[in-house]
Amino acid sequence: MNVSKPSEKYKLLKQRRATWMAIVIKDFRKSKHGIVGSVIVVMIFLMALMAPIIAPGNPQQPNYGMELLPPSIEFPFGTDNIGRSVFHFVVWGTRNELLIGLVATLIAMTIGTLVGAFAGYYGGIIDMILMRITDAVAVIPIFFLLIIGVSMFQTKSLWLIASIIGIVTWPYFARIVRSEFVSLKERTYVLAAKSIGASDFRIIFRHILPNAAGSIIVTATIYVAYAILLEAGLSFLGLGDPTATTWGIMLNTGRDLLRRAPWVATFPGLFIFLTSWGFNLLGDGLRDALAIRERKG
Amino acid sequence: MGLKGYIIRRLLTMPILLIFTTLFIFILIHLAPGDPVQIMLGGNPTVTKEVIDILTRKYGLDKPLWMQYLIWLGNVLRGDFGHSFVLNAPVITLIGERILNTLKLTLTAQILAICIALLLGIIAAKRHGTLIDNIISALSLFGYSMPSFWLGLICIFIFSLTLGWLPSSGTQTLGVNLSPWEALIDELKHMIMPVTILALNQSTFLFRLVRSSMIEALSQDYITAARARGVSERLVVYKHALKNALLPVVTAAGLNFGYLLSGAVLIESVFGWPGLGRFTVQLAFRRDYPALLGIYLLIAITVMVANLITDILYAYIDPRVKYGD
């Protein structure tokens, strides 16, 4: 190409240097959903990080004589039936919500990705067996599976609940990763890797998996919201860890106080919703950004 | 392969799927530390060692896990879905009325969800890319992220506790004599909130599907051809495009029946609806392990049958579907 002006030459060079990441970020910034979502998610993370500054003190601390107070300057979200500050509870709860969301997603993602990758790559009988197992787990309405699984444990910790959520929700990941692998394994770079004698293991994890990363990341983002909603539902039913500081636990307390103190249920629920919405929006934005990249590639 | 062959093959794979799915829960349950009998008794200190031993033998829990599973499977094949430890009754008799209540709730919600999704999906697709489309799409994500149990509480606070318009729990008003007509109105009033909230949740997912399949249908050649022939826009949208967009939506709704049942667990608990979900929660509190296994199996069968019916209907409605694979 004949390039005369230095500025144009520079522009071209810059274009060529535009990495995958830069294209994704550029497209992501065009997505309104993505922007709003990332602002919410960043704020949630900041809230978790700065809990001791925003709401100093122990969130589980009862304040005798200050039960069921409506929202005020001292207690912005009011107090519950034993005088705990709902605001403190919500702010500190953020940490546990993120822990549950991230741990459950990590477990579901790991199991689902492994199952999906092997099923999609090998096909045939391995695919059939792995996908029938996936179907078998996916067929049960998730909440029934979760309730039965969780109820069998006498002492429940957040780690346990997060693990069970991960163990029962991996099938969706497996299906997505499998479909990616089924199409990606036909690409020429896989053929090239095979022809120089790369092992199956190397092809799966070094060649195909990075190319499936986009849809895995999008799914994982949405899964964080899903896991938080599931835990909140469990705690709301009274099947969570009753000693933990989570939004679902406070919602469970507020359920019986609905007539006398509606704020106890209102604020934790609002934050569950906001967090779930934020992660869903972020997932949407990432999907748009990554899909545009795929079309260009 | 024809439709008949497909159905037979599906029916044959169902038992295999059921074995996998029950094995999964068996393993999950036995991963829990501690003896199931003690878990069921909730660590009650007054229970003697002898009682525990008797119960352990009664439920066959002294046998190895694989044998327990085979015994359980054998009972199921003989039509014995288990015996509730807490209520001292066969699971199958306990479930009857409750499953009907759950179906009443979920099927009504399903129909309402399809209607909402179609209405909003068509509006959004017709105005694809405009402000209205963006607003409806944003609202759908909004609804999708909404914890339904929280929305339920808010609605109870507004419509029952504050305004007093709707009853907050149950399926009917108890202890009053009503004429058949009044009883029907009473029942409908009890259904409004749980059904609407369950339907809203389901419709957000279906909406996205209606929207995308309508956008695709509206860009097809036969739509352009219909427009070129001077067919009115109304007819183009509602007859030509909708006919083709309807199929994937109804299919997805059917295949998503399990998701609806899952949502019903929370809604039933919020609204005191005497269905299977609320019952399961009550049993879970008491750790009634034999009954929970029975319910689990029945739900698995229900969902599988719902999926099968959906697939068959799909093939029946759409002659293009071939079951080669």
Q: Are A162 and A227 in contact (CB under 8 A)?
A: yes
* B window 85-144, beta carbon within 8 A of A: 138, 141-142, 144
Q: Are B242 and B117 in contact (CB under 8 A)?
A: no
pLDDT of residue A293: 47
Tell which residue, B255, B260, B256, has the closest CA to residue B312. Answer: B255
Residues of chain B with pLDDT under 70: 1, 33-36, 38-45, 319-325
pLDDT of residue B36: 66
pLDDT of residue A181: 92
Residue-wise pLDDT tens digits, A69-98? 788 877 888 888 787 888 988 899 999 999
Smallest CA–CA distance, residue B237 to chain A, in Å, is 27
Is the CB of B304 less than 8 angstroms away from the CB of A142?
no
Higher-pLDDT residue of A140, B42: A140
Higher-pLDDT residue of A41, A77: A41
Lowest mean pLDDT among A112-121, A202-211, B87-96: B87-96
Residue-wise pLDDT tens digits, B70-94? 888 888 888 888 888 778 888 888 8
Tell which residue, B72, B68, B71, has the closest CA to residue B82. Answer: B72
Tell which residue, A236, A226, A278, A283, has the closest CA to residue A100. Answer: A226
Q: Cβ atoms within 10 A of the Cβ of B139, count?
A: 14
B269 at the A interface (CB within 8 A)? yes
Pick A154's closest partner by Cβ from B34, B150, B260. Answer: B34
Does position A297 have pLDDT exceeding 60, yes or no? Answer: no
pLDDT band at A228 (very low <50, low <70, confident <90, very high): very high
Does position A27 have pLDDT exceeding 80, yes or no? Answer: no
Q: Are A269 and A229 in contact (CB under 8 A)?
A: no
Pick A141's closest partner by Cβ from B24, B146, B262. Answer: B262
A100 at the B interface (CB within 8 A)? no
At a CB cut-off of 8 Å and minimum separation 6, what does B233 contact? B227
pLDDT of residue A163: 93
- What's the sign of the alpha-carbon dihedral B98, B99, B100, B101? positive
A263-296 and A247-255 helices, crossing angle to 10°: 140
pLDDT of residue A295: 42
Does position A33 have pLDDT exceeding 80, yes or no? Answer: yes
Rounded distance, CA B91 to CA B62, Å?
23
Q: Which residues of A touch B277 (CB under 8 A)?
A: 143-144
* A window 130-189, beta carbon within 8 A of B: 132-133, 135-145, 147-154, 164, 167-168
pLDDT of residue A1: 46
pLDDT of residue A5: 59
Tell which residue, A166, A159, A158, has the closest CA to residue A142. Answer: A166
pLDDT of residue B138: 84
> Distance of CA A131 to CAs A20, A115, A124, A136, Å?
32, 8, 11, 8
At a CB cut-off of 8 Å and minimum separation 6, what does A93 contact? A59, A245, A246, A247, A249, A250, A268, A271
pLDDT of residue B64: 78
Q: Which residues of B touch A254 (CB under 8 A)?
A: 153
Pick B17's closest partner by Cβ from A139, A225, A258. Answer: A139
Highest-scoring range by mean pLDDT, A3-7, A15-19, B143-147, B164-168? B143-147
To the nearest 5 percent, what fractions of chain A are helix, strand and coil? 75, 0, 25
The pLDDT > 90 percentage for chain A reads 38
Note the ipTM here: 0.85
pLDDT band at A255 (very low <50, low <70, confident <90, very high): confident
Higher-pLDDT residue of B175, A123: A123
pLDDT of residue A135: 87
Higher-pLDDT residue of B118, A7: B118
> Distance of CA A256 to CAs A236, A250, A266, B88, Å?
11, 11, 12, 30
Six token digits for residue A20: 């995958």
Rounded distance, CA B294 to CA A79, Å?
42
Residue-wise pLDDT tens digits, B222-246? 888 888 888 888 888 887 778 777 7
Does position A2 have pLDDT exceeding 70, yes or no? Answer: no
Coil/strand/helix, residue A78: coil
pLDDT of residue A89: 87
Rounded distance, CA B10 to CA B312, Å?
10
Q: Are A59 and A91 in contact (CB under 8 A)?
A: yes
pLDDT of residue A222: 92
> Distance of CA B193 to CAs B139, B170, B261, Å?
19, 11, 16
Q: Are B241 and B223 in contact (CB under 8 A)?
A: yes
Tell which residue, B307, B120, B99, has the closest CA to residue B206. Answer: B120
Rounded distance, CA B125 to CA B210, Å?
8
**Phi-psi group of B108: left, alpha or beta (phi > 0 → left; psi -120 to 50 → alpha; rest → beta):** alpha
